[in-house]
């Protein structure tokens, strides 16, 4: 479900976006980390997009030029020069760029690379977890690695007033960096500085599988490739959550529940099957 601060529900046609993506078969250039590359490629393929994982500095520009959208995932900070070349091409062609600040709460170097990147290129959307977004906003370390910090887990336990307070500084951040921000978590916060919505789709298992955030960023790039807008970004994170819910519903439950390994596969299956019913 997508709603705003007045609790008005947004009726977004997620299937409409999905059909447009399948019809267009957009090329999505992903410069992403070694953990997520395979899952990002497969979730994009499942939903009818065409992923290209390419991170050599000498061909990233050309490859991005042949695609429809670019994802720069800073879990692959070692490929920063390739991101730079790819973004030059994408910017020239006005392709949407999604930047994923993986791990910026844990590394000053990564933070400075990310802030440098978004200052040089017009990024359509930043998608990260709350520790990553806070690290960029407050320009300080917030986490020990790529996962959301204990501090945020303790302080964001479903309390609506905390959610709305977070939405306020995330909105300020969005205005500062002049792009859409998707802050993922139990309730995703999506803002472009003017509009803010909350997305409750998803399930807890999504946080127990590595790279679901990286996949969400790749999925967002596919959505933005058919419509580069705030609503499209909100629809993409809602779609991701719905895929998680679909996987949970359709996976066979063993006597001890659903394993995170099976859930990971179920999530990719869901991206292909969700609108078949």
User: Residues 211, 216, 268, 270: which binds ligand Cc1ncsc1CCO (CB under 6 A)?
Assistant: 211
CB 215 within 8 A of CB 267: yes
Q: How many residues does the chain have?
A: 277
Q: Where are the alpha helices (DSSP H) in 33-124?
A: 37-46, 60-65, 80-92, 108-120
Q: What, of ligand Cc1ncsc1CCO, ligand ATP, none, does residue 58 touch, CB below 5 to 8 Å by kind?
A: none
In angstroms, the CA 159 to CA 96 distance is: 34
Task: List the strands of the sheet with 97-100, edge to edge.
Answer: 2-3, 196-199, 188-191, 180-184, 125-129, 97-100, 69-73, 27-31, 50-53
With b meaning 16 or more CB within 10 Å and e meaning fewer, what string describes 127-155?
Answer: bbbbbbbbbbbeeeebbeebbbbeebeee
User: Residues 1, 19, 22, 35: which binds ligand Cc1ncsc1CCO (CB under 6 A)?
Assistant: 35
CA proximity to 141, closest of 169, 106, 112, 171: 106
Q: What, of ligand Cc1ncsc1CCO, ligand ATP, none, does residue 185 touch, CB below 5 to 8 Å by kind?
A: ligand ATP
253 is in an annotated binding site: no
User: Residues 27, 29, 33, 198: which binds ligand Cc1ncsc1CCO (CB under 6 A)?
Assistant: 33
CA-angle at 50, arms to 30 and 33, nearest 5°: 20
In angstroms, the CA 143 to CA 151 distance is: 9
Q: Which is nearer to ligand Cc1ncsc1CCO, 44 or 167 (CB)?
A: 44
Which residues of this chain interact with ligand ATP, rule CB under 6 A? 102, 128-129, 146-148, 184-186, 188, 202-204, 206-207, 210-214, 216, 237, 240-241
Binders of ligand Cc1ncsc1CCO among 112-151, rule CB under 6 A? 146
Instruction: Find the shortest distance in angstroms from Cβ 174 to ligand ATP.
Output: 17
How many residues touch ligand Cc1ncsc1CCO under the rule CB under 6 A: the total is 10
In angstroms, the CA 8 to CA 209 distance is: 31
Q: What, of ligand ATP, ligand Cc1ncsc1CCO, none, does residue 235 touch, CB below 5 to 8 Å by kind?
A: none
Instruction: Find the shortest distance in angstroms from Cβ 178 to ligand ATP.
Output: 22
Residues in binding site for ATP: 127, 184
Question: Which residues would be at the binding site for ligand Cc1ncsc1CCO (CB under 6 A)?
Answer: 33, 35-36, 75, 102, 146, 210-211, 213-214
Annotated binding site for substrate: 53, 211
Report the binding-site residues: 53, 127, 184, 211
């Amino acid at each position: 479900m997508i709603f705003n601060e007045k609790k008005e529900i947004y009726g977004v046609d997620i299937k409409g976006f999905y059909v447009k993506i399948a019809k267009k078969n957009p090329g999505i250039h992903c410069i992403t980390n070694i953990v997520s590359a395979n899952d990002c490629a497969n979730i994009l393929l499942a939903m009818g997009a065409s992923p290209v994982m390419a991170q050599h500095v000498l061909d990233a520009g050309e490859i991005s030029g042949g695609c429809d959208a670019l994802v720069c995932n800073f879990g692959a900070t070692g490929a920063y020069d390739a991101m730079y070349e790819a973004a030059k091409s994408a910017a020239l062609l006005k392709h949407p760029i999604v930047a994923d600040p993986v791990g910026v709460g844990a590394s000053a170097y990564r933070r400075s690379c990310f802030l440098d990147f978004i200052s040089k290129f017009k990024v359509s959307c930043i998608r990260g977890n709350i520790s990553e977004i806070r690290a960029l906003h407050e320009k300080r370390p917030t986490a020990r690695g790529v996962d959301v910090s204990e501090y945020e887990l303790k302080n964001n336990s479903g309390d609506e007033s905390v959610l709305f307070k977070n939405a306020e500084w995330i909105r300020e951040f969005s205005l500062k960096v002049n792009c859409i921000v998707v802050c993922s978590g139990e309730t995703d916060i999506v803002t472009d500085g003017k509009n803010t919505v909350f997305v409750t789709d998803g399930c807890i298992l999504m946080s127990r599988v590595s790279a679901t955030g990286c996949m969400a960023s790749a999925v967002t790039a596919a959505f933005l490739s058919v419509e580069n807008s705030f609503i499209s970004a909100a629809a993409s994170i809602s779609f991701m959550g719905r895929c998680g819910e679909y996987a949970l519903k359709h996976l066979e439950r063993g006597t001890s529940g659903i394993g995170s390994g099976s859930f990971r596969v179920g999530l990719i299956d869901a991206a292909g099957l969700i609108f078949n019913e």
